[in-house]
Structure 1
């Protein structure tokens, strides 16, 4: 089969690769219909390189079951599915408590196990989530990032009537905005330095868009909230700058949740850090999209709201490409040669 394999930073190859084979009675093989680029893929391509040289990459996907292990009775060939890409050990203290996102050996396909930038991928059967016929493969390939967004908001205990600020209007930020409105947020403030992203954020439910280029975000947010601040501030940009600024946005007793991953040291100046202490903020880290019972309610909840049309992913998709275009596409993204939102690959194309 053909696959995208990562050998090093900026060394991604479209090449012939061994097709997965069932080796465990509880595994399934999926024919990949659609697979998307995650923001973390871009950083790994540009800077970090693979965990294992030559690894087949990718973890946001949907497809059709083509083979099942002998002990799998919940799935059959022909089933339409997406799959949670996370793999947990099942033995560490966190796993024994059902806290799978905190597993000591947590990994995802595409890291140390072959991923979904390929014609076929193998996963444990328990990772699969069946799709209703009304949810197309394109949308289903984005169930994983949508689950990541709701996983983070679950941690905050968001309530109807809360005011929410979301810094960073990439995929996770735009999905978080939609979830916040579904949860009943009174006002959602979208913050970014790109006006086009802010317009899309408003299209998808944000009440206000704030361009934070060359301003202190908290000054504008406090002006707009009557000097109160927001109940919940979400960092989804993964920027070293916004990862410090986010502490200045909540009200006294407010909450901050980190969904972005800054690939650099976060230097928090005194003013921002004092907001944590003086305002008695609650600060949450959010990792992955899994909970108990595995893979977690995040997944079925996402499927439901996609089916109901209350989570909208179509406006976020900017490119639909063949898998063979992968290496050139990643180069264009990191060199900013084009307007890239969500990029989807089609292995059959």
Structure 2
């Protein structure tokens, strides 16, 4: 079968691989219809995060069940599904407490387990999420990043009528805008330095878009709402700069949720850091997309709101490509040769 395998730093190869074979009674083999590039894939490709040399890459995907093990009851051949790519050990303290996202050995397929940049992928039945007919495969391939976002919102104490700022309008930020509305936000401020991304943010539901390149976002928000600040600030850019600036956005007693991961040290100027103390902010980290019972309500909730159209990923998808275009596409992304939103591969196309 066609696949993308990672052999080393920036060494991804489009090549033939053996198709998965049922080995366990709970195995499910899925024909991959759509699989997306995640920011963590870019990092692993560029900097070599956890991986096994030659492992098939990728983890955000949807497809059709082709074969199941003897004990599988939740899906059957022909069913349309998405894959939850996370694996937790089930034995550490966090797992025993019903907190799988905090598992000490948490990892996703495409690292130590063959991934989804291939014509076929295999997962245990509990990782397979059925999707309704009105959720297309491209949309379903983004259930995983959607679940990452809603996992973060579940960590807040956000109430209907809240004002929310989303800092960074990449794929996660654009989903966060929509989830903020679902959670009852009265006003959502979308912040970025790229006007094209801000245009998409407006399309998916942002009430106010703010380009922070020339003037600090918190100053612009204060001018707009009378020095009121926001109830919840989402950091979704994963930038060292925004990871410091985000502390200036919430009001006294407000919350900051970190969904992005800055791959560099963060230097926080005193005026920003002091706000954590003086404004008694709650600072929350949010990791992965799973909870108990596994894989968690994040997944069923994402499927529901995608089926109603309240989570709309179509404006976020910028490229639909053949799998063979993978190596060149990854290099273009890290070299910033082209503007990319969410990139999806369709393995059946070649």
Q: Structure 2 length normalisation: TM-score?
A: 0.98
CA contact (8 A) 1:7 1:49 kept: no
Q: How far has the Cα of 1:111 moved from its partner?
A: 0.9
Deviation at 1:67, TM superposition (A): 1.3
- 1:300 has 2:300 as partner: yes
By how many angstroms is 1:341 displaced? 0.7
| Counterpart position of 1:69 | 69
Distance 2:321 2:50 in 1: 23
What are structure 2's unaligned runs of at least 5 residues?
A: none
What is the match of residue 116 of structure 1?
116
Counterpart CA distance in 2 for 1:212 and 1:222 is: 13
Are 1:7 and 1:50, in contact at CA under 8 Å, matched by a contact in 2?
no
After TM superposition, the structure 1 = structure 2 runs for residues 33-72 of structure 1, keeping only pairs within 5 Å, are: 33-48=33-48, 51-72=51-72
Aligned to 2:245: 245
Partner of 1:158: 158
Query: Helix, strand or coil for the counterpart of 2:240?
Result: coil
Q: TM-score, normalised by structure 1?
A: 0.98
8 Å Cα contact 1:61/1:142 also seen in 2: yes
Counterpart secondary structure, 1:146: helix
For structure 1, the 5+ residue unaligned runs are none
| Deviation of 1:222 (Å) | 1.9
Aligned equivalents of 1:333 and 1:302: distance in 2? Answer: 27
What pairs up with 1:89-100 in 2 under 5 angstroms? 89-100=89-100
Q: Distance in 2 between matches of 1:3 and 1:266?
A: 37
Q: Secondary structure at the match of 1:78?
A: coil
Give the corresponding residue for 2:130.
130
Q: Work out the CA distance in 1 between the residues paired with 2:156 and 2:224.
A: 22
CA distance in 2: counterparts of 1:52 and 1:269, whole angstroms? 39
- 1:6–1:50 Cα contact (<8 Å) kept: no
Q: Who is 1:284 aligned against?
A: 284
Q: Using the TM superposition, give the Cα deviation of residue 51 of structure 1 relative to its aligned residue in structure 2, in angstroms.
A: 2.0
1:17 matched residue in structure 2: 17
Aligned-partner SS, 1:202: helix
What residue in structure 2 maps to residue 148 of structure 1? Answer: 148
> In structure 2, the residue corresponding to 1:306 is in which secondary structure?
helix
Shifted more, 164-173 versus 262-271: the winner is 262-271
Report the more deviating stretch, 336-345 or 254-263.
336-345
Deviation of 1:236 (Å): 0.2
Deviation at 1:136, TM superposition (A): 0.6
- Give 3-state SS (helix, strand or coil) of 1:40's partner: helix
Name the SS of the counterpart of 1:181 in structure 2. helix
Q: How many residues align structurally? A: 349
Kept in 2, the 8 Å contact 1:9–1:49? The answer is no
Query: Displacement of 1:49 after TM fit?
Result: 5.1
Q: Which residue of 1 aligns with 2:216?
A: 216
1:225: how far off?
A: 2.4
**1:6–1:49 Cα contact (<8 Å) kept:** no
Rounded Cα–Cα distance in structure 2 between residues aligned with 1:280 and 1:197: 32
What is the rounded CA distance, in whole Å, between the counterparts of 1:265 and 1:339 in structure 2?
26
RMSD of Structure 2 on Structure 1 (CA): 1.1
Q: Secondary structure at the match of 1:241?
A: helix
SS at match of 1:292: coil
CA contact (8 A) 1:8 1:50 kept: no
Structure 2 residue aligned with 1:312? 312
Which residue is 1:230 aligned to?
230
Q: After the TM superposition, which of the residue ranges 17-26 and 139-148 deviates more from structure 2?
A: 17-26
**What is the SS of the residue equivalent to 2:58?**
coil
Deviation at 1:50, TM superposition (A): 5.1
Superposed CA offset, 1:1-23 (max 9, x none): 11101112211100111221222
Matched, 1:335 2:331: no
